[in-house]
Amino acid sequence: MNKVIRSIISGFVLMGLGIVLMIFGSMNGGGSRVFWHHGNFWVPDEVKIHQQIKGVQNITIQGDTLDVLIQPDAKVQNGMSIEGNLTNQAGFKVSKDQNTLKLNYQNMKDNMPNFSDVLQDEDHLTIKVPQGTNLKKVKINVQSGNVELKQITAQKAHLKNVDGQIKILQGNLKAVDLNNNDGSTRLDGLKTQQIRIDTGAGNINLHQLKSDKTQVHIDEADLVIQKSQLGQTLISINRGMTTIHQVTAQDLFAQSIYGNYNLQEINLKGASTVATQSGNINVNWQDNFGYRLVVQDQGKIKVKNVPYAKWYQTKFERVNRLTLTTYRGDIMVAK
């Protein structure tokens, strides 16, 4: 009986010692040293990246969990600088195919035991280009991580992300194609001839965007556009709130199934339409517009604090005219 008791006590002592050592190791970064991958424990082969590549006009990046930043640097005079920190050296491949830089990275973080926050730090790469560089094409496709282009000039940019942020700051890109499945998208100070944004469940914030042609499709998220020139504009939203403030657009067509619209200080050229199946529309009155307002089922119309039935129209023969329609919701045009 005494042996049994001693065995039990010894077991508790060993377990307690193991917990103490585990916590101590975790607090000192030990949790980041062992991963669980496809049924096996794996110790990461961490490596710091610092490489120089010359004669590059295109950048192609493919990765799973990876943060990517591309930006100019006055210290980089010739070629490009690739810097960063990765946890799987064997999964990193860099090559040059004619004038195209190709980066491919696959880490091994599918599943892992984790008792610290250290493992939440994702692998990251920064590509620095000489100031004034005009790239032909930038193509980035990652499964998880943040993608950012900062003050980049290029003919084409194709950015795809499954789970993470996409940001373009102060760029000049002739054609832009963004696909973000589950993460926010932020564009600030971008100049482009045409842009297409497709997102699943991530809010979109467009600020000081200057585009000749703009297309936005959202499955379930909010859209905010401020101080922008959109050119010809098409907005399609399944579910989400749309806010447009201090914006110029040509032949705007915005539609949603479920969602409200709030348009303030807008300057619309040509024939524009805002339509929602279920939602309210709020717009400030513009003296140079013609208006047609329609509530198809349930809701009310109010123009400059004057209520109307389900139909209101004035000066709709004008070149610049706006149609506001909802199947179920209210339309308010305020002075």
Q: Is 21 helix (H, G, I), strand (E, B) or coil?
A: helix
Contact, 123 vs 105, CB < 8 A?
yes
Distance (Å, rounded) from C-alpha 246 to C-alpha 152? 25
The yes-or-no verdict on residue 96 having pLDDT over 60 is yes
The yes-or-no verdict on residue 35 having pLDDT over 70 is no
| Helix (H) or strand (E) segment spanning residue 269 | strand 261-269
Sequence length of the chain is 335
> In the chain, where does DSSP find H-type helix?
2-27
Read off the pLDDT band of 107 (50, 70, 90).
Answer: confident
Residue type, 51: Q
Distance (Å, rounded) from C-alpha 202 to C-alpha 182? 5
The yes-or-no verdict on residue 307 having pLDDT over 80 is yes
With the CA atoms of 282, 286, 288 and 293 taken in that order, what torsion angle do they form, in degrees rounded to the nearest 10? 30
The yes-or-no verdict on residue 30 having pLDDT over 90 is no
pLDDT, mean of residues 65-79: 94
Question: Residue 205: its pLDDT value, please?
Answer: 98
Distance (Å, rounded) from C-alpha 72 to C-alpha 82? 12
Read off the pLDDT band of 168 (50, 70, 90).
Answer: very high
Contact, 28 vs 52, CB < 8 A?
no
Average pLDDT, the chain: 88
Question: Residue 44: its pLDDT value, please?
Answer: 59
Look up the pTM and report it: 0.84
pLDDT, mean of residues 267-274: 97
